Amino acid sequence: MALNRPLVTLSIVAASALALAGCASSNDADAASGDDGSGETIEFTFQQNVAGEDEEPEYVEETVDVPKSPESVVFFDMASLDTWAALGGPAAIGAPLDSVPDYLADGVADDAFNAGTLFEADLVEIEAAQPELIIVAGRSAALYEDLKGIAPTVNLSSEGSFEETLERNTAFLGEVLGAEDEAQAAIDDIEAQIEDVRAKTADIGTGLSVMVAGDSISALKPSDGDYSGRNLRGGLVYDVFGVQPITDDIEEATHGEPVSFEFLEDYDPDYLFVTDRNAAVAEEGAQTAEVVLDNEIVHSTTAWENDQIVYLDPTAWYIVFGGLETAQIMIDDIANAIS
């Protein structure tokens, strides 16, 4: 299956909830247990963090019976929506609509309801819709406990490297859809393209991945096997695409990541890979990364002089961060920059 770019505090009103509960049918119990009427389900196991917001993570194993070929799915994870749509799944009936990027808009039904935000679920709307399946991950993983009583809910957060998580989640969604062959073909295609890119990055010299937020920059480092949180996202340029970092210990060199423009001049990477958080989150009044980096110090670097400052797709690299179409965008970003 070849992929081409582009495919394109929980909210609840007590009175309404009570009214819905009073009207609920016996289908509620079937939905929460994973019984879609056909009786055919898939058992899926994942790790769920049960610690509080300011506590050290504590993971427990959760196993959910997921109905096969569900027609009504609510997505709180854009990467999962991406892969679901790429494998031919029916359009989502609900999602945090303000967070769906343009290139994934076709994966959401025209009459889809707004399920809340990536951090806050509209439980009343979701329960009224009675979806057969709900998917969370990453930013929305904390919603799991509140959503699992409405319908079978799975957490597809990263467990392992970017490639391992993409393969696991694609295989799972392919099985749910009965599209196992298509899922495997898609993964094989992505893996082959990544290997091609890695073969080319071996010859481009050194690189530095940075994030621009406000008018400041942070140097991102390889994950070094720690795939938790920002380490996974920050290390992608090196870990997935094989770019040689400018120093063996970026964290030590930067004293904890935030850097000055002089850092770029001193270490002088051949390539600078830029994630524009300002653009990704539409930070009001913030300048674009191109403007922030347009100064005399940056102009003196090899990357600027050789036109080797690479502006990565901010939505793909910072917001969605995963999924088949998004992985293709990321591959294209690197491949086109070094070709």
Closest CA to 213 of 293, 305, 321: 293
225 with 142, same domain: the answer is no
Per residue of the chain (339 residues), give pLDDT as tens: 334 433 333 332 333 333 333 343 334 444 444 444 457 999 999 999 888 777 888 899 999 999 999 999 999 999 999 999 999 999 999 999 999 999 999 999 999 999 999 999 999 999 999 999 999 999 899 999 999 999 999 999 998 899 999 999 999 999 999 999 999 999 999 999 999 999 999 999 999 999 999 999 999 999 888 787 677 878 899 999 999 999 988 877 765 578 999 999 999 999 999 999 999 988 788 899 999 999 999 999 999 999 999 999 999 999 998 999 999 999 999 999 998
Q: Could you read off the pLDDT of 260-301 as tens digits, one per residue?
A: 999 999 999 999 999 999 999 887 888 999 999 999 999 999
| Alpha carbon of residue 35 to chain centroid | 28
* Distance separating alpha carbons of residues 159 and 175, to the nearest angstrom: 19
106 with 214, same domain: the answer is no
Predicted confidence at residue 54, as pLDDT, reads 75
**Is residue 2 included in any domain, yes or no?**
no
**Is residue 195 included in any domain, yes or no?**
no
* Distance separating alpha carbons of residues 169 and 60, to the nearest angstrom: 19
The length of the chain in residues reads 339
**Is residue 189 included in any domain, yes or no?**
no
205 with 141, same domain: the answer is no
**Is residue 165 included in any domain, yes or no?**
no
**Is residue 194 included in any domain, yes or no?**
no
Could you say which of 101, 129, 157 is where a domain stops? 157
143 with 208, same domain: the answer is no
- For 122, phi then psi, to 5°, come to -90, 90
Predicted confidence at residue 36, as pLDDT, reads 43
Q: Which domain holds residue 311?
A: 201-338
40 with 133, same domain: the answer is yes
Cα torsion through 319, 322, 328, 332, rounded to 10:
50
227 with 329, same domain: the answer is yes
Whether the CB-CB separation of 230 and 218 falls below 8 Å is answered with no
**Is residue 185 included in any domain, yes or no?**
no
Could you say which of 139, 157, 175 is where a domain stops? 157
Closest CA to 52 of 185, 178, 142, 155: 142
Q: Could you read off the pLDDT of 13-69 as tens digits, one per residue?
A: 333 333 333 343 334 444 444 444 457 999 999 999 888 777 888 899 999 999 999
Could you say which of 105, 124, 157 is where a domain stops? 157
Residue 30 belongs to domain with CATH number: 3.40.50.1980
226 with 319, same domain: the answer is yes
224 with 309, same domain: the answer is yes
Q: How many CB atoms lie within 10 A of CB 131?
A: 24
153 with 259, same domain: the answer is no
135 with 232, same domain: the answer is no
- How many distinct structural domains can be found in the chain? 2
Residue 99 tokens, joined: 């967070």
230 with 95, same domain: the answer is no
Predicted confidence at residue 206, as pLDDT, reads 96
Question: Judging by beta carbons within 10 Å of its beta carbon (0-12, 13-18, 19+), is residue 117 exposed, middle or buried?
Answer: middle
Secondary structure element (H or E) that encloses residue 60, with its range? strand 59-67
**Is residue 117 included in any domain, yes or no?**
yes
**Is residue 9 included in any domain, yes or no?**
no
- For 41, phi then psi, to 5°, come to -135, 165
131 with 26, same domain: the answer is yes
